[in-house]
């Protein structure tokens, strides 16, 4: 039997055509924000009609809208609107959560793990981006309650990837649990990177987003420098992207209008990865760094910049590449 797997040290990437056990048939999906809404839609659409998905969000409009969309498709698993996160989880074999902040994750799992929850060997998959310490505390509470196993699986790919079902998941779980978790993640994404034990997925995600946050600021400053020295923006970007300065913010998400037509900068920084979300992820990375006693001398400077930019009227609620505008970058 062929198994499509690539091993790089302890990092394993498995693709959707790998051999995996039969999927469990009762699911709960909790948290229907911009990412969760699309992930739940993909999950339901790719399950069998004999399966069931219970969905819950504090925003009842999001629940009702998603339910209507799922039912209109006339395919996939049966859909059930739950009255609470606890209600959604009662009959589920697999529970997926996608929530904004650590306190939301703690609160949801406290509401789920009550004495009235039927005992079952569930898999809890948390796709939220939170700090590893909080995640490990929740994992411990799941284990102590005898309700199964909690894993962390934050994702990369944004709303576009969530909609297209092409997300990359960074999985933190004991290797023995990976075969039980992967089938569900492959219904919502394209890649699963097993990063190590529970908590490791979040550590990888926060390290990646820390680097992304700094690269974004450096790209904005470099582009502004070159343009003010008389360089054409596209010419400068072409130089960067075949040289040692090449990075995702310079090549894919360039912060200067017109350089990359599909980038948020070309539509007044609308869409993309919100600056408030980058501020949040950077804050979590700094919390994790302090816990791990890792020096992050540039991190505090970067956080202060994102924090100030996120509050400025012409930058707030826009893609995080809007720091170029915050820095006074030339936009014409």
- pLDDT average per 10 residues of sequence, the chain (332 residues): 40 45 77 96 95 97 96 92 98 97 97 96 97 96 97 93 96 97 97 98 97 98 97 98 97 96 95 94 96 96 98 97 96 82
Contact assessment for residue 230 and residue 224, using Cβ atoms and an 8 Å cutoff? no
- Residue 12 neighbours by CB distance under 10 Å: 17
Catalytic residue among 52, 205, 257, 280: 205
What CATH class is the domain 204-326? mainly alpha
Please give the pLDDT value at position 12: 45
pLDDT of residue 160: 86
Chain CA centroid to CA 3, Å = 27
For residue 25, what pLDDT is reported?
86
Question: In which residue ranges of the chain is CATH 1.10.1040.10 found?
Answer: 204-326
Residue 257 a catalytic site member:
no
pLDDT at 15: 45
Q: Residue 97 in contact with residue 113, Cβ under 8 Å?
A: no
Answer for the pair 127, 39: CB distance below 8 angstroms, yes or no.
yes
Task: State the sign of the Cα–Cα–Cα–Cα dihedral 69, 74, 78, 80.
Answer: positive
Q: Please tell me the CATH superfamily of domain 5-196, with its number.
A: NAD(P)-binding Rossmann-like Domain (3.40.50.720)
Question: In this predicted structure, what is the pLDDT of residue 81?
Answer: 98
Give the per-residue pLDDT at 24.
53
Q: Rounded CA gap, 30 and 46, in Å?
A: 18
Specify the domain boundaries for CATH 3.40.50.720 within the chain: 5-196
What's the confidence (pLDDT) of residue 210?
98
């Amino acid at each position: 039997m062929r198994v499509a797997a690539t091993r790089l040290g302890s990092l394993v990437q498995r693709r959707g055509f790998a051999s995996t056990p039969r999927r469990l048939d009762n699911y709960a999906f909790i948290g229907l924000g911009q990412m969760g809404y699309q992930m739940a839609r993909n999950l339901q659409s790719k399950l069998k009609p004999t399966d069931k998905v219970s969905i819950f969000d504090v925003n009842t409009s999001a629940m009702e809208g998603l339910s209507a969309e799922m039912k209109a498709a006339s395919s996939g698993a049966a859909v059930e609107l739950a009255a609470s996160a606890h209600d959604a989880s009662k009959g589920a074999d697999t529970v997926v959560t996608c929530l904004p902040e650590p306190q939301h994750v703690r609160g949801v799992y406290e509401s789920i793990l009550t004495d009235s929850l039927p005992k079952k060997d569930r898999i809890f998959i948390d796709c939220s981006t939170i700090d590893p310490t909080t995640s490990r505390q929740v994992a411990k509470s799941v284990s102590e309650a005898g309700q199964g196993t909690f894993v962390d699986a934050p994702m990369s790919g944004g709303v576009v990837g969530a909609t297209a079902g092409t997300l990359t998941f960074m999985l933190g779980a004991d290797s023995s649990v990976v075969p039980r978790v992967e089938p569900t993640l492959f219904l919502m994404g394209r890649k699963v990177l097993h990063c190590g034990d529970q908590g490791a997925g979040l550590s990888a995600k926060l390290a990646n987003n820390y680097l992304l946050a700094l690269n974004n600021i450096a790209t904005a400053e470099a582009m502004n420098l070159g343009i003010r020295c008389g360089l054409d923006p596209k010419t400068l970007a072409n130089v960067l992207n075949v040289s040692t300065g090449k990075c995702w913010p310079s090549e894919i998400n360039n912060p200067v209008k017109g350089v990359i037509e599909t980038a948020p900068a070309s539509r007044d920084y609308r869409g993309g990865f919100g600056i408030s979300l980058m501020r949040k992820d950077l804050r979590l990375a700094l919390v994790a760094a302090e816990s791990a006693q890792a020096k992050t001398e540039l991190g505090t400077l970067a956080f202060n910049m994102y924090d100030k930019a996120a509050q400025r009227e012409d930058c707030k609620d826009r893609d995080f590449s809007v720091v170029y505008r915050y820095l006074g970058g030339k936009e014409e």
